[in-house]
Amino acid sequence: MKDKTFSVSITEQEIRQQVQRVAAEITRDYEGRQPVFLAVLNGSFVFAADLLREVDLPCEISFVKLASYEGTATTGNVREIIGMNTDITGRPVIIVEDIVDTGLTMAHMLDTLKGHNPQSIDICTLLLKPSKLQVKLDIKYCCKEIPDDFVVGYGLDYDGFGRNTKDIYTLI
């Protein structure tokens, strides 16, 4: 793809099995509740679509985006959550992310969301690179832990491309 070579590392079949497993865990854990899923665009759009169809609960979904803007010299580069059109006050929230790498994005998102006073927040990620984590994060739902490699496909991109593949590929 473009100037790089990738090879299949997680097949469509394995992804489907893991998505079904995680969806069953959420369905079991949230029985009797009506969670709000917050899917973080762009990378999570495929995962969120598959996950939600396997979750057997009354639920809502909002697609949010993290917008970077230049802050003042003291605040540095701040990332703001945009597009959240569901009131999460007093609601159980499940963040749906494509991949957690250093965890800094997720830690910042948690901090911001706590300001909206949700009942609870859980993290659900398709992929996690445990060796790269720089912050302590309680990741309740994870489809697969992977090594510190660059991956594309199934929603994840390389320079905008590759989001539309059924398998996940690793840069070789």
Contact segment (CB under 6 A) with ligand 5GP among 4-12, 18-26, 81-89, 95-103 equals 95-103
Q: How far, in Å, CA of 54 to CA of 74, rounded?
A: 44
Distance from the Cα of residue 80 to its chain's centroid: 16
Interface pick for ligand 5GP out of 11, 17, 34, 102 (rule CB under 6 A): 102
Q: How far, in Å, CA of 45 to CA of 52, rounded?
A: 11
Least Cβ distance, residue 107 to ligand 5GP (angstroms):
8
Residue 17 interacts with ligand 5GP (CB under 6 A)?
A: no
Residue 98 interacts with ligand 5GP (CB under 6 A)?
A: yes
Interface pick for ligand 5GP out of 100, 109, 121, 124 (rule CB under 6 A): 100
- The catalytic position among 29, 50, 56, 101 is 101
Pick between residue 41 and residue 52 the one whose CB is nearest to ligand 5GP. Answer: 41
Name the site residues for ligand 5GP (rule: CB under 6 A): 43, 97-106, 150-152, 156-157
Q: Which amino acids are annotated catalytic?
A: 101
